Amino acid sequence: MSDGIFIGGGGVGYKDAQQLLLKYGNRHGLIAGATGTGKTVTLQILAEGFSNAGVPVFLSDVKGDLSGLAKAGSPDGKLHEPFVNRNTTINFTTFVYENFPVTFWDLFGEQGHPIRTTVAEMGPLLLSRMLQLTDAQEGVINIAFRVSDEQGLPLLDLKDLQALLVWCGENADQLTLRYGNISSSSIGAIQRSLLVLENQGGDKLFGEPALDLSDIIRTDPDGRGRISILAADKLMSSPGLYATFLLWLLSELFEELPEVGNPDKPKLVFFFDEAHLLFDDAPKALVNKVEQVARLIRSKGVGVYFVTQNPADVPDDILGQLGNRVQHALRAFTARDQKNLERAAETYRINPRFDIEDAIKSVGTGEAVTSMLEAKGVPSVAEQTLIRPPSSQLGPLSALERAGVIATSPIAGKYETVLDRESAFEVLSKRANDAAQAAEQAEAAEEAAELAAKEAKADEKKRAELEREFKKARRYETKDYGRSTSRRSSRSDSLGESVTKLVIKELKGTTGRRIVRGLLGGLFKGR
């Protein structure tokens, strides 16, 4: 079956091979079913099949179980005998235990290589969705992105966006005239949302080095596609962050990959586990974007497989584009459950051998109602299928085994060291520092000017005082000129001494020295 992926056995006695044709692997798919019905195993065997066909895979590991893809299953395992029995039933004679080439990723950098993007690459729409902003607040985010582009303020990490929002608030009067209203309350609300995101560890998503898409679209030297596994057990505590990140990744693939038309096999297959998180309370604009990406990304050679509990979790416009389907058991305890079950059954081509609605309710663990695209892209009739056992380990790796896979990864060391080049935060900080220094210099100059003016006024006052003393002395000498020589001499000496002491005292001071310098300068200039 080199042209398809063996899924399991259907038909009478489960002997009819059910396969997903590789040439329709980019026509997207759905894996649905209640908790505990086998969705994770189905995801695992599909990832194995695509990898063996040379197709890279990206998937999120919500429970940690899928890390076992990196290790071969064992004949010593407790499930070996049930596996053998099932393989006999479905006539799977080529089954072997094997491991697969795996790259572990982790937004928090704990269980895999760090995976990042920049704020600018995330864009205002997805960022607003992540922060759950109102329309008014989203408008402010759009203004901030426009200012970033026009003023050359790169938005790489959260502190860049936080600094730019502060700047927008300080210059709101000017920006409002050009772009629209920027209220301090909106900026405050956005900053609070960013703080919450930062406290949740979301700041680790933003920065450099950003993810190089070629690192998730890799094949090994043996021709098998590498399986990129995103550790999502911790990330699921922030469902908005989880869903928005995966949607961003899909958008990047859509924007960056070239058109390939209808390839013989996909260029990449993307599994979106817990897909309902993408659509819960999502604004219409976001749902429209997902629909657009799902409709057009298949021409880029990318297949998207949504994994969720109920097909009703996926909007009808998107559900209609999912050609390959594996429907595990659904429970119908309420009227709403019954309605969802009926809707799920209606999406399959009728098989006269059984009632599809009854089959969806009754299939056991590891069993599903399947329908795959066949010739000319037409869905096959529904089949009740026993899913094949996985070749890799069923269950998670140990922490030591995971660390070994990470250490020997072909991208080991590429993303571990954070880069912090000059961006909006640094540019705006430098502007603020320069403005503060200029203000300090201006203040110092003003203080110096005030001091000089005070000193000049003091000089003028001292000069006037000396002139008054000299004039007073001369008037006294003229008035007393007719008196006796001895008496005049005595009084003149006394007056002269007083004036001399006063002049000497004044000349000893700073103001006096300046006056002397002025007088001497004038004398020398006169010569």
* Closest alpha carbon to 425 in 154, 186, 145: 154
C-alpha span between 25 and 153 (Å, rounded): 42
Pairing type for strands 324-327 and 29-32 reads parallel
> What are the backbone angles phi and psi of residue 435, rounded to the nearest 5°?
-65, -40
Contacts of 25 (CB under 8 A, 6+ apart): 5, 50, 55, 265, 266, 269, 303, 324
User: How far separated are the first and last CA of the chain, in Å rounded?
Assistant: 115
Question: In the prediction, which pLDDT does 286 show?
Answer: 78
pLDDT of 492 over the 70 cut: no
pLDDT of 220 over the 70 cut: yes
What proportion of the chain, given as a percentage, has pLDDT over 90?
67
The 10s digit of each residue's pLDDT in 445-469 is 888 888 888 888 888 888 888 878 7
Lowest mean pLDDT segment, chosen from 6-10, 11-15, 177-181, 513-517: 513-517
HEC string for 257-293 = CCCCCCCCCCCEEEEEECCHHHHCCCCHHHHHHHHHH
Number of CB atoms found within 10 A of residue 296's CB = 12
User: Is pLDDT larger for residue 221 or for residue 261?
Assistant: 221
**Lookup: tokens for 459:** 């000089």
Lowest mean pLDDT segment, chosen from 109-123, 288-302, 392-406: 288-302
Lowest mean pLDDT segment, chosen from 17-21, 166-170, 329-333: 329-333
Question: In the prediction, which pLDDT does 517 show?
Answer: 47
Cβ burial, residue 483 (10 Å; 0-12/13-18/19+): exposed
The DSSP letter of residue 237 is G
C-alpha span between 168 and 146 (Å, rounded): 11
The 10s digit of each residue's pLDDT in 50-100 is 999 999 999 999 988 999 999 999 999 999 999 999 999 999 999 999 999
C-alpha span between 20 and 480 (Å, rounded): 132
Chain mean pLDDT for the chain:
89
Number of CB atoms found within 10 A of residue 333's CB = 7
Q: Is the dihedral of CA 349, 355, 357, 358 positive or negative?
A: negative
**Lookup: tokens for 158:** 């959260």
pLDDT of 524 over the 80 cut: no
Contact at 8 Å (CB) between 124 and 155? no
Per-residue pLDDT band for 481 (boundaries 50, 70, 90) equals low
Tell me the Ramachandran region of residue 103: left when phi exceeds 0, alpha when psi lies from -120 to 50, beta otherwise. beta
Lowest mean pLDDT segment, chosen from 35-49, 157-171, 280-294, 421-435: 280-294
- Residue 492 parent element (H or E): helix 485-508
C-alpha span between 115 and 67 (Å, rounded): 17
What is the signed CA dihedral for 115, 117, 118, 124, rounded to 10 degrees?
Answer: -130
For the full predicted model, state whether its pTM sits above 0.85.
no
Question: In the prediction, which pLDDT does 1 show?
Answer: 46
Question: In the prediction, which pLDDT does 469 show?
Answer: 79
